[in-house]
């Protein structure tokens, strides 16, 4: 299979703390990630898509359209935001990077059509990487 | 089964251009990529196999390096791909097409191993990849 992967960056803050739990339980489960007022990361987001390679242009997908969709639906909403407060679903669920992968997938899966989303790779730091293939 | 990945780099120029289209059509479709420009490419080739019980190697990496030098670096490095590679006189040298072409060139180049993946980075923000249907 032939695919194209594009790398994007955004910087955001989050706090890993379940809204229904008390501070003690959150600290026990999430450690320093539960500290009040959150902390931040420079995220690296790799988005992999596939499609039919156009016989004449040699292109799998319209990269400019892909950049627009990712910019509007993901980057503009996440970059320089406090995720717990500013993204609806993270008022009730914990914005772990696993959950962020799901968020990105849900935002892009249909919107990128006719390109087909294959994989989301999210680096929270250079040491922690999360991957989701939609299954 | 073990997989190894060998990386090489080459620098090359290209442009996106369909000769049967007008300048306006090409610019509308390809934007700035119609201008001759270049990239620092990084090619990663992943091979799968069982380590030889004596040498402990799937394949001699020197052999992999020499093959990639002959097949890729000698032909691609510091070249204008639209002219230097006959295939790209007829086909637009997009990253996708480059990967498909490299797959054709390299598919049988490493006897005793199975070619599992070819990943070509055009720059730090974009790569195209061919991956075998069967995982390693």
- C-alpha A126/C-alpha A32 separation (Å) is 18
Residues of B in contact with A58 (CB under 8 A): 16, 91-94, 96-97
Kindly identify which residue of chain B lies nearest to residue A60, measuring between CA atoms: B96
Residues of chain B with pLDDT under 70: none
- C-alpha A49/C-alpha A3 separation (Å) is 6
- Catalytic residue numbers of B read 33, 78, 122
pLDDT, mean of residues A75-92: 96
Q: What is the CATH number of the domain that holds A109?
A: 3.30.479.10
Q: In CATH, what number does B2-131 get?
A: 3.30.479.10
Q: Is B1 on the interface with A (CB under 8 A)?
A: no
**B95 near B120, Cβ under 8 Å?**
yes
Q: Is B42 on the interface with A (CB under 8 A)?
A: no
Task: Count structural domains, chain A.
Answer: 1
pLDDT band at A25 (very low <50, low <70, confident <90, very high): very high
Residues of A in contact with B127 (CB under 8 A): 4-5
Tokens of B122: 């055009």
- Taking the alpha carbons at both ends of chain A, their separation in whole angstroms is 18
Closest among A61, A132, A57, A119 to B131, alpha carbons compared: A119
Residues B79-116: tens digit of each pLDDT: 999 999 999 999 999 999 999 999 999 999 999 999 99
pTM recorded for the entire structure:
0.90
Tell me the average pLDDT of chain A: 96
Kindly identify which residue of chain B lies nearest to residue A9, measuring between CA atoms: B125
- C-alpha B29/C-alpha B15 separation (Å) is 12
Q: What is the pLDDT of residue A10?
A: 98
Residues of A in contact with B122 (CB under 8 A): none
Closest among B37, B42, B25 to B102, alpha carbons compared: B42
Nearest CB neighbour to B100, from listed A2, A63, A64:
A2
Q: What is the pLDDT of residue B136?
A: 78
Closest among B58, B35, B29 to B46, alpha carbons compared: B58
Distance from CA of B19 to the nearest CA of A (A): 11
Q: What is the pLDDT of residue B17?
A: 96
Residues of B in contact with A53 (CB under 8 A): 96-97, 100
Q: What is the pLDDT of residue B55?
A: 87
- Residue span of the structural domain in which A72 resides: 4-132
Which residue has tokens 């791909």?
Answer: B81
- C-alpha A89/C-alpha A95 separation (Å) is 9
Count of other CB atoms within 10 angstroms of residue B85 = 19
Q: Is B105 on the interface with A (CB under 8 A)?
A: no
Q: Cα A49 to chain center, whole Å?
A: 15
Q: What is the pLDDT of residue B134?
A: 87
Residue A33 is a catalytic residue: yes
């Amino acid at each position: 299979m032939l695919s194209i992967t594009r790398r994007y960056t955004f910087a955001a803050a989050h706090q890993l703390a379940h809204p229904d739990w008390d501070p003690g339980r959150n600290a026990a489960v999430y450690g320093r990630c539960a500290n009040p007022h959150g902390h931040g990361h420079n995220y690296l987001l790799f988005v992999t898509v596939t499609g039919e390679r156009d016989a004449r242009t040699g292109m799998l997908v319209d990269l400019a359209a892909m950049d627009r969709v990712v910019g509007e639906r993901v980057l503009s909403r996440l970059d320089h935001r406090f995720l717990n407060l500013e993204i609806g679903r993270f008022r009730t669920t914990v914005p772990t990077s696993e959950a962020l992968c799901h968020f990105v997938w849900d935002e892009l899966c249909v919107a990128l059509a006719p390109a087909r989303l294959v994989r989301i790779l999210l680096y929270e730091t250079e040491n922690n990487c999360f991957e989701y293939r939609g299954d | 089964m073990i997989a190894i990945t060998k990386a090489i780099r080459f620098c090359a120029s290209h442009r996106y251009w369909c000769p049967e289209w007008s300048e306006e059509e090409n610019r509308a479709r390809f934007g700035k990529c119609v201008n001759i420009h270049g990239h620092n490419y990084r090619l990663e080739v992943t091979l799968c196999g069982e380590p030889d019980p004596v040498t402990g190697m799937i394949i001699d990496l020197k052999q992999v390096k020499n093959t990639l030098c002959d097949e890729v670096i000698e032909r691609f490095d510091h070249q204008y791909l639209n002219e230097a590679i006959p295939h790209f006189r007829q086909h637009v040298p997009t990253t996708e097409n480059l990967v498909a072409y490299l797959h054709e060139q390299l598919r049988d180049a490493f006897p005793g191993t199975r070619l599992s993946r070819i990943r070509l980075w055009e720059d730090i923000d974009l790569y195209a990849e061919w991956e075998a249907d069967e995982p390693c």
